[in-house]
């Protein structure tokens, strides 16, 4: 874990009774930037309701939308474990009591940063409940630790965009160095989640740990081209740069109908198409919502014809990250 040096005090006058937070799903890798790029979307996302209670400690009241897959034990649940860690580093673990309701609005193991959205929602919520003693930058190492607890690897390409919003570059993983990149206003993601389970751990184990120099040259050309395209608002450059010659050829075999879905998306006018995170969700990157909508609808139709159920989401890039929601709305 990145060493966390926290020199913050909680002002007990600022503590709230309860907060409700939404944190967004994310598309890690952004097709060509394995483990270093990612962006947030407006939907789906997860929600945390957090209540201050008299008895010190952190407890999970309930989890909805997980089909019973996530632990209610506060030491084993990633969200509560991260909240406990933060309270402990703030020196208030023995004095503050909180209870958590986690509401999952997205599938687990979808490649949409499901665990990251929950972790970020939980950490943003405890910080808000305590009167926001930490900046987002200070919350980031706790989010990365949550990712490590959830999937055994502390890659930040889901938690960084989920917390910071927009498109993020993880320039350094060991010593965290996160760079926010510009977001062209018409950039949309058409996401399709085919209902097959691809755990991140399995999808990572498949990948070879050596690459050919000629492939690496193509890939870093693409990453550099994508970054330039984001700065220049150049959708054609973004599209032709979002190509993955390193990871996609291996992971695509885990995703049924991958190449047919790609053909459909590109035929509909998508700028690019690829795997979201470690899959099985796929993403059609589009200029404007219309192309993304048509591409996801046609892909869904194709999957149905093969008797594969799917969810679809169409979203602009989410630029704000987590947000406070009205508690009673
Ligand atoms: N960069 C990670 C991977 C993201 O592709 O394995 C996991 O969601």
Pairing of strands 97-104, 57-64: parallel
Binding-site members are 107-117
Per-residue pLDDT of the chain (329 residues; tens, 9 = 90+): 555 667 778 888 899 999 999 999 999 999 999 999 999 999 999 999 999 999 999 999 999 999 989 999 999 999 999 999 999 999 999 999 999 999 999 988 899 999 999 999 999 999 999 999 999 999 999 999 988 888 777 789 999 999 999 999 999 988 999 999 999 999 999 999 999 877 667 778 888 889 999 999 999 999 999 999 999 999 999 999 999 999 999 999 989 999 999 999 999 999 999 999 999 999 999 999 999 999 999 999 999 999 999 999 999 999 999 999 998 87
Q: Is 267 among the residues known to form the active site?
A: no
CATH number of 187-316: 3.30.70.890
Comparing C-alpha atoms, which of 112, 110, 115 is closest to residue 48?
Answer: 115
Closest approach atom of ligand 1 to CA 157: 1
Comparing C-alpha atoms, which of 285, 276, 239 is closest to residue 258?
Answer: 276
Residue owning tokens 């198409």: 273
Strand locations in 166-309 (E): 167-172, 177-181, 187-194, 272-275, 282-287
- Whole-Å CA distances, 87 to 33, 97, 140: 34, 10, 15
Gap from CA of 151 to ligand 1 centroid (Å): 10
Q: Do the Cβ atoms of 163 and 145 come closer than 8 Å?
A: no
- Whole-Å CA distances, 185 to 88, 234, 316: 40, 11, 8
Which residues form the pocket of ligand 1, taking CB atoms under 6 Å from any ligand atom? Answer: 28-29, 34-35, 111, 155, 157-158, 200, 203-204, 277-278
Please list the residues that pair with 39 across neighbouring strands. 27, 167
Compute the Cα dihedral for 32, 35, 36, 37 and give only its sign.
positive
Which residue's CA is the closest to the ligand 1 atom numbered 8? 277
Q: What tokens were used for 169?
A: 């570059």
CATH architecture for the domain at 12-180+318-324: 2-Layer Sandwich (3.30)
Gap from CA of 153 to ligand 1 centroid (Å): 9
Distance, in Å, from the CA atom of 14 to the CA atom of 12, rounded to the nearest integer, reads 5
pLDDT given at position 205: 84
Please identify which of the residues 26, 168, 200, 296 carries the catalytic annotation.
200
Gap from CA of 192 to ligand 1 centroid (Å): 17
pLDDT given at position 202: 75
User: Packing angle between helix 114-129 and helix 78-89, nearest 10 degrees?
Assistant: 40
Which residue's CA is the closest to the ligand 1 atom numbered 4? 277
Q: pLDDT digits over 235-276, tens only?
A: 999 999 999 999 999 999 989 999 999 999 999 999 999 999
Q: pLDDT digits over 193-245, tens only?
A: 999 877 667 778 888 889 999 999 999 999 999 999 999 999 999 999 999 99
Its pTM stands at 0.95
Binding-site members for ATP are 107-117
| CB hemisphere CA count around 53 (13 angstroms) | 14
What residues does each domain of the chain span?
12-180+318-324, 187-316
Please identify which of the residues 99, 147, 248, 257 carries the catalytic annotation.
147
Residue 7, classed as helix, strand or coil, is: coil
Which residue intervals of 112-181 are DSSP H helices? 114-129, 136-151, 159-164
Residue 194, classed as helix, strand or coil, is: strand
Using most ligand atoms within 8 A of CB, pick from 38, 117, 157, 170 the residue to mutate for ligand 1: 157
Read off the DSSP letter of residue 78. H
Q: Is 200 among the residues known to form the active site?
A: yes
Gap from CA of 38 to ligand 1 centroid (Å): 10
């Amino acid at each position: 874990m990145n060493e966390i040096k926290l020199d913050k005090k909680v002002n007990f006058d600022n503590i709230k009774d309860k907060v409700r937070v939404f944190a967004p799903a994310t598309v890690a890798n952004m097709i060509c930037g394995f483990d270093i790029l990612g962006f947030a979307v407006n939907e789906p996302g997860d929600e945390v309701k957090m209540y201050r209670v008299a008895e010190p400690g952190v407890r999970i009241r309930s989890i909805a939308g997980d089909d019973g897959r996530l632990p209610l034990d506060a030491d084993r649940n990633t969200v509560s474990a991260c909240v406990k860690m933060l309270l402990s580093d703030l020196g208030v673990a023995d004095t503050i009591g909180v209870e958590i309701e986690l509401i999952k609005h997205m599938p687990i193991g979808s490649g949409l940063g499901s665990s990251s959205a929950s972790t970020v929602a939980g950490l943003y919520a405890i910080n808000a409940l305590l009167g926001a003693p930490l900046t987002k930058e200070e919350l980031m190492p706790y989010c990365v630790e949550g990712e490590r607890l959830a999937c055994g690897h502390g890659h930040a390409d889901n938690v960084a965009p989920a917390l910071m919003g927009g498109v993020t570059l993880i320039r350094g993983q060991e010593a965290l160095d996160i760079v926010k990149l510009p977001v062209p206003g018409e950039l949309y993601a058409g996401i399709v989640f085919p209902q097959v389970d691809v755990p991140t751990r399995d999808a990572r184990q498949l990948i070879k740990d050596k690459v050919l120099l000629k492939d690496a040259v193509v890939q870093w050309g693409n990453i550099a081209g994508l970054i330039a395209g984001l700065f220049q608002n150049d959708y054609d450059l973004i599209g032709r740069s979002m190509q993955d010659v390193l990871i996609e050829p291996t992971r695509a075999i885990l995703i049924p109908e991958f190449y047919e879905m790609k053909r459909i998306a590109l035929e509909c006018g998508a700028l690019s198409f690829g795997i979201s995170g470690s899959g099985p969700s796929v993403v059609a990157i589009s200029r404007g919502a219309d192309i993304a909508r048509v591409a996801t609808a046609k892909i869904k139709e194709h999957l149905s014809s093969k008797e594969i159920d799917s969810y679809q989401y169409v979203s602009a890039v989410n630029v704000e990250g987590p947000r406070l929601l009205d508690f009673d709305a």
